[in-house]
Structure 1
Amino acid sequence: MGKAMIELGAARPAVRPANPCFSSGPCAKRPGWSLAALEGAMVGRSHRAAEPKGRIAEVIARSRAILGMPADWRLGVVPASDTGAVEMVLWSVLGQRGVDVLVWESFSKEWATDIVAQLKLPDVALREAPYGRLPALDPVAPERDAVFVWNGTTSGVRLRDADFIAEEREGLAICDATSAAFAMRLPWERLDVVTWSWQKVLGGEAAHGMLALSPRAVARLEGYDAGRPLPKIMRLTRGGKLIEGIFEGDTINTPSMLCVEDALDGLRWAESVGGLDGLVARSEANLAAVERWVASSGWAAFLAEEPEARSCTSICLKIVVPWFLAMDARAQARVAKRLAAILEAEGVGLDLASYRDAPPGLRIWGGATVETSDIEALLPWLDWAFAEVAVEMARDEAAADG
């Protein structure tokens, strides 16, 4: 690396992000948030009582309205975040038909593991792609089920449409949309199950999931018995009928009323910035800011190989300078961790490390609660921190050479 790398040191940027929180989950709270937003929470009350249950129902109603969900869909609050919502459906409806599973990052791989290794379904077709790419999007046969994420939270790769799903179909399209809902437009007519959690785009608190079901999904739940024993926390039917209360605010288990109040605060804020159109615009502006910076950075690139597949929420970056690419995987991981550690130590960018199973790099959350001005303030710090890492590497190399 030598003397040239030692001379790379850059001037420390003068401007800091007002909010340094760029975690991909739990995500940044909405601008201006404080604990005062929770003062009206129905703590100490039964979630079954009329007023607290009404608050839960309000979360459902406001979510439906903002997302433009079809009137004949059900939406409910379920346990265990997005993971719980996905698991409930996989274990309840799969097995009647063959299933295509699209795998291109860690969470979609988890759903594939459930389906292949745990459910042990006999007719599974895996469509796999490495981090940074989408799998083959050939049409799914109308008679087959499909399981996929809309946005790869750990890869920064997203779908732009669901044209691979037939509008006229017998199978179900099961979509994990946790880092897409409220930041990307979802084609409801091509989907049957959509899941997300409160902790992503609207910056809510963890542990609660949202489960949306089309009429076709409800018909599968009521008309197909997979014969699997299910614990109470995963049951969506009773006596062969959908438990309608789940979709009216009568949750399976006890929710946190503090989290419910926080979810309502996020939804009201979403309405104040223009609803879904405003939320999408905010996220896309964050991606655009990073795109402008990457174009001139010289050392960073998007993990997503195709520009049209770049996520506007989980924005994943890789390091592309030759000396880094020449390292083995463990050394690359150390460099990327050091880069994230410097940014955290400076207090300008928290939780920016790439996901543990992803290629070494950085991951910047660009969801709607993140101000574009904070993204723009962060980016010069990335250059500064990378220069600091390069200098450290050059000094270590010089010391090793004596």
Structure 2
Amino acid sequence: MATVVTHIKPTPNKKPLSPRYDHNEVDMNRVAAIVLGGGQGSRLFPLTLTRCKPAITFGGKYRLIDVPISNSLNSFCHKIFVVTQFLSTSLHHHIHRTYRLDGFSSGFIEILTAEQKPYTNSWFQGTADAVRQNLDYFVDTPADYFLILSGDQLYHLNFQEMMRVALTTEADVVVAAQPVDEAHAKRMGLLKVNVNDRVTDFVEKPQEKEVLDQFTAPLSILERANVSAKSGRNYLGSMGIYLFKRETLLNLLLEDNRDDFGKHLIPNHVENGHVAAYIHNSYWEDIGTIDAFHQANIELTSPYPAFNCYAEDFPIFTDHEALPSPKILGGRLDQSIICEGAIVDAEEIAHSIIGPRTVVRKGSVIERTYIMGNDFYTPPSHNPRYPQEVVIEENCIIQNAIIDKNVHLGKGVRLINARKLTNFDSEKLYVRDGIIVIPRGVSLPDGFVF
């Protein structure tokens, strides 16, 4: 018999993280969203061996791309472009399966893949360049504002709130900003904001104490965003989320041929135009490293996770596969997520996510691990890339790890990072930031120990 350990009732937060406004209050038909798929995602290697960053699964059932698309749809922004260039096939499949908008509405989700053009044959060189190379598609869109979003972040944000700032301040550009501490400030673009929410200066990843001191946010700004002065979050870091007036975006891209919004175009317009800030004092995480990705997933198993997947008024949409409910045959479960189609007979699973169709056999112990699951129970015999079985066999021990899709772990496999390595590379196993990562489709033999 399975034992389920709970420390608190798994009731989602009573207060919505980002309440919807009446869709008539702010006309989001005037807005189109552009979601950038990013480049090679080398910092998330080896998860990006066979897919782009936005196609990576998180939380057991979602893909990272679901976050910006869901935030857009929940904000009544139904005109969405997704710009991709790197290993994007699985991302395309997911979007086509998941998001089928009403054919009688003006909404759409259109995928734009990098392509050679008469005037350029290079890959996208940055965020601004990715938008610039697709301007021919955007100028035909009936929209007065364009949202620029990233495909590898976790957050709940009602973009109507950003639109409200744009309308009340009459700004050309609105930058979403997060109150952060000094350690995070050194890794982000920082905004200097006056009491009217106008951005007066912008600096990218400052390291010098003198520069950081100049970008300390005014107390009145922090108090208005419900940030305590004692929290240490005295800086406003750019979230890489921008709302542009149509003409401003077109003019900036055509007049300034540099490659990046955060490094080049936004600082330029702070000096020469009107940029306002929208302060977002809620959860936001840039999934840029293996450590950040692992922590964000394990955090979802806590009783009240900072990223709330249970918000009924602001759901995260995703593909719904026709899978049975999970089957728990035995063992002890402690603060873990068991996804559809999983069959679990482990000794113990703690602070872990067990993905769809995962089969865990007797005696195994899994701690602080994200197992992404499988695309099938029985691998196709005609494809030699897959193991003959995709199961976690008896008596395995897995700690502090990420197990990618369609993996076979033989009997008695121990993944415990016994040498406490920070980084390590081999054909079938990697370590990044102390986290063990088993790539997609790997098979580890009986008795394997790391």
TM range, smaller chain: under 0.3
Q: Which has the higher contact order (CA 8 A, sep 6+)?
A: 1
Greater strand percent: which structure? 2
TM-score, normalized by length of structure 1? 0.28
